[in-house]
Amino acid sequence: MKYKGYTIYTTIIRAASDLLVVYLCFLAAFWIRFHSGIFPVALGIPAIDNYIEAFFIAAIILLFVFKAFGLYTEHKLFKFSGEFSLLVKSMTVGMIALMALTFIHRDFSYSRLLVALSWGLCIAGLTVSRYLVDNLEDRLCQARQEHKKLIILGTGDTAQRLLGNIKKNRRWGYEVIGFLTNELNVPLEIKDVPVLGDLSRLDEVLDKKRPDEVMLAAAGLSHQEMVRLIIACEKKVVLFKLVPDMFEIITSKVDVYDMDGIPLLGLKELPLGYAWNRFVKRGCDIEYVNIKSYRQSVKEKKEIIVLSLHYSQ
C-alpha cells in the first residue's frame, strides 16, 4: 500500500493528459472538417458551441470506457503494444457509443465525418501522449528512493525473460535483489543480479534480504515443493506470485481464468466470442443500416422534388 499515493498521482496525470489530448484532437478535427477546405461544406459551417457542449459528454463517456478497458490500471504489466491495442479498442467503442447518441439527440445534426476524424486523431495523439507519460513515470520511479524488493525463484529462460522485462519497465517499481535456483552449474550472477543459492535456502534469504515480493519462475517443481515455498513466504508476510512455466502456450492460444481463486487454463474463444467484438460488429451493422436508410431517404426526396417540378410544369 506504500505505493498507493504514487499510483493515484500518476493515474490523475494520465487521465488529465488524456482529456487534454482528446480536446485538442477534437478542435483539430473540427478545423480539418469545416475550415481546411479539404472537405466540402454544403450546409455551411456550424457553430462550434454545439460541439463543445457535446464534447463534455463525450469526455465522460471516454473516461469510463478507458477505465473499463484497464487503461488506468495501477502498475500496468503489459507492453506498450498491448496498451496501443486497448487504446484502439476503447476509442472504437467510445466513438460508436457517441454516434449512437447522435441519433437520439435530433435537435442538432452532428457531422459523422468529424467523429471519424476525431477517432483517428485521438488514437494518434493519445499514443504519443501516453508514450511521454510512460517516460515520465519511468523518471519518477528513478527519482524515488523506495522500490519493491523482488526475489525470483528460478534461473531458466522464463526467469531471465522476467528479469529483462522488469528492467525495461522501471515504472513497475521493482528492484530484483537476487535469484534462487533449482538447477546445477548456475553462474554466480545473471545480468548483474546475484544468485543467492538454491531453493532450499528460501527461509534464510527471506530473513536476510527481507524482500517485498517473491516470484516463482522455475519449471519442473513438484506440488509439494511449491506449497513449501508458498508457506515460507506467507510466514514472513511476503507476497508470492507465480509465473506459469508454459509461457508460450499462455501467450498464444490459451486464456487464464479465475474461479473464486482457482486458476484455470482454457482455449481462447473465437473472435465473436468476446463481448467487445460483438459490440463493435453490432455497432457497425447499425451504422451501415443508418447510412443506407439515409441515402434511401435522400434518393426518395430527390425523386419527389423531380416529380413535383415535372407536374408543376
Instruction: Tell me the DSSP string of 19-75.
Output: HHHHHHHHHHHHHHHHTSSSS--TT-PPPHHHHHHHHHHHHHHHHHHHHHTTTT-TT
- What's the predicted TM-score (pTM) here? 0.57
pLDDT of residue 239: 85
Backbone conformation region of residue 131, classed left if phi is above 0, alpha if psi is from -120 to 50, else beta? alpha
pLDDT of residue 208: 92
pLDDT of residue 248: 45
Together in a domain, 10 and 136: yes
| DSSP secondary structure code for residue 172 in this structure | G
Task: Give the chain's domain count.
Answer: 3
C-alpha–C-alpha distance, residues 153 and 180, integer Å: 5
Degrees to nearest 5, angle at CA 83 with 80 and 89: 145
pLDDT tens sequence for the chain (313 residues): 344 444 667 778 888 999 999 999 999 999 998 888 888 887 778 888 878 888 888 888 888 888 888 888 754 455 566 678 888 989 998 888 877 776 666 566 778 888 889 999 999 999 999 888 877 777 766 666 567 889 999 888 888 888 888 888 776 778 899 999 888 888 888 888 999 989 989 999 999 999 988 988 887 788 889 899 989 998 888 888 887 654 444 444 555 555 444 454 454 555 555 555 666 677 677 766 767 776 777 677 667 766 666 666 5
For residue 200, which amino acid is it?
S
pLDDT of residue 31: 93
CATH number at residue 219: 3.40.50.720
Range of the domain at 262: 148-267
pLDDT of residue 311: 60
Q: Which residues contact 66 (CB under 8 A, 6 or more apart)?
A: 15, 18, 72, 90, 94
Longest CA span, the chain: 102
Domain C-terminal end among 86, 111, 143:
143
**195, 164 contact by CB (below 8 A):** no
C-alpha–C-alpha distance, residues 265 and 250, integer Å: 8
Together in a domain, 107 and 37: yes
Together in a domain, 30 and 93: yes
Angle between helix 4-34 and 112-143 (nearest 10)? 150
Together in a domain, 245 and 184: yes
Together in a domain, 126 and 210: no
Cross-strand pairs, 266: 255
C-alpha–C-alpha distance, residues 224 and 43, integer Å: 75
C-alpha–C-alpha distance, residues 73 and 76, integer Å: 6
Together in a domain, 133 and 52: yes
**60, 94 contact by CB (below 8 A):** no
Together in a domain, 228 and 155: yes
Together in a domain, 155 and 34: no
pLDDT of residue 79: 57
Together in a domain, 138 and 233: no
CB-CB neighbours of 280 under 10 Å: 15
pLDDT of residue 306: 64
Residue 300 host element (H or E): helix 275-312
Together in a domain, 16 and 136: yes
Cross-strand pairs, 150: 176, 213
Together in a domain, 157 and 217: yes
Together in a domain, 199 and 292: no
